Amino acid sequence: MRLGLSGDMASACELLCAEDADSLEDSLEDVADAEFPDDSGESIAGFIEGESEYSPGCDYPDRFRSRLLDPFARAESIAWILKVHSYYRFCPLTAYLAVNYMDRFLSSHCLPRQQANEWALQLLAVTCLSLAAKMEETLVPSLLDLQVEEAKYIFRPRTILRMELLVLTALNWRLRSVTPFTFIDFFAYKVDPYGKYMKYLVSRAAQIILATIHDIDFLDHCPSSMAAAAIICAADETPALKFIDPAIASTWCIGLTEEGIRSCYQLMQQIAICSSSIQRRHPVVLSQIRVTTTVNLGSSPPSKRRKLSNGGG
């Protein structure tokens, strides 16, 4: 049984539609001019060989399936990350990295169990998005301004900064991760070596990847397989391109497997994906809760949590 944000296909559609297509195109504007030297395949193969080092542990997806971890709470956190990503027109990699950091942290650290669906997980999501934005964005909102789009809790900057140190330590300060975005330019070039449709292929593949990251079944797939499958899906929507199947895709580079690409491709085809996009919404102004707490994400919950007035620092 597959677990995700919800059982119906509309949820995956909503996640993709919340993405601003213009921002994706802007961030990928120079892709069509990409040129790959003859030894690019060796470099890509090296990334494939080491990509597992930047993924959560092998048992991580099963912990969601057995409900040791809450898949719905994770999906809600990812939905919030995508909303903020769309609002600020962050590049696609920023959103993916934020989720990657969150999953890698949860793979090795336990949140306070009785609070995991509330402020603790939201603090982790805000922290991971902050770190990802610092890695990829030229203009990074302040820690308070980052907490928009229906954030239930508002955390003080010093609380987020302490949490950033915990996450950085848990990830061994390895933030430059291998992701599907490491591969999609090269794979798009393999499909369209003359570059006529390359910009579209990369942009559409990025949309597909962001539309699927809430689904825990994709945690079973490595970044290179996700990138190849997304490029095939994008090529399927381009009648002028010749038919590409997982068997063909597996020949693009050493390390790719037909089975891995096919399984991921079939899973992507099961997700309902909208081709249109919704304009970015303005941040929702709610009566939000400001939280101050000692950042302690060990086995026991924090000893104290209190509400602060909106004038709090």
Vertex 83, ends 80 and 88: CA angle to 5°? 130
Confidence of residue 22 (pLDDT cuts 50, 70, 90): low
The reported pLDDT for the residue numbered 114 is 54
pLDDT at 13 > cutoff 60: no
- Residue-wise pLDDT for 227-245, tens only, equals 999 999 999 988 888 888 8
Q: What is the rounded distance in angstroms from the CA atom of residue 289 to the CA atom of residue 151?
A: 9
How many CB atoms are located within 10 Å of the residue 79 CB? Answer: 18
The per-residue pLDDT for range 119-145, each reduced to its tens digit, is: 888 999 999 999 999 999 999 999 999
- pLDDT one-digit tens code per residue, 283-304: 433 334 444 444 444 433 333 3
CA dihedral 66, 175, 30, 201 (to 10 degrees): -20
Residue 214 vs residues 2, 127, 146, 268, 302: alpha-carbon distances, Å: 12, 18, 20, 12, 28
The larger pLDDT score, comparing residue 225 to residue 117, is at 225
Positive or negative, the CA dihedral 78, 84, 87, 92 is negative
What residue spans of the chain are helical by DSSP H? Answer: 10-17, 21-27, 40-50, 60-65, 71-87, 92-108, 119-136, 157-170, 184-191, 198-212, 223-236, 246-249, 258-270
pTM greater than 0.85 (yes/no): no
Q: What residue ranges define each of the domains in the chain, with the CATH number in brackets?
A: 60-177+279-308 (1.10.472.10)
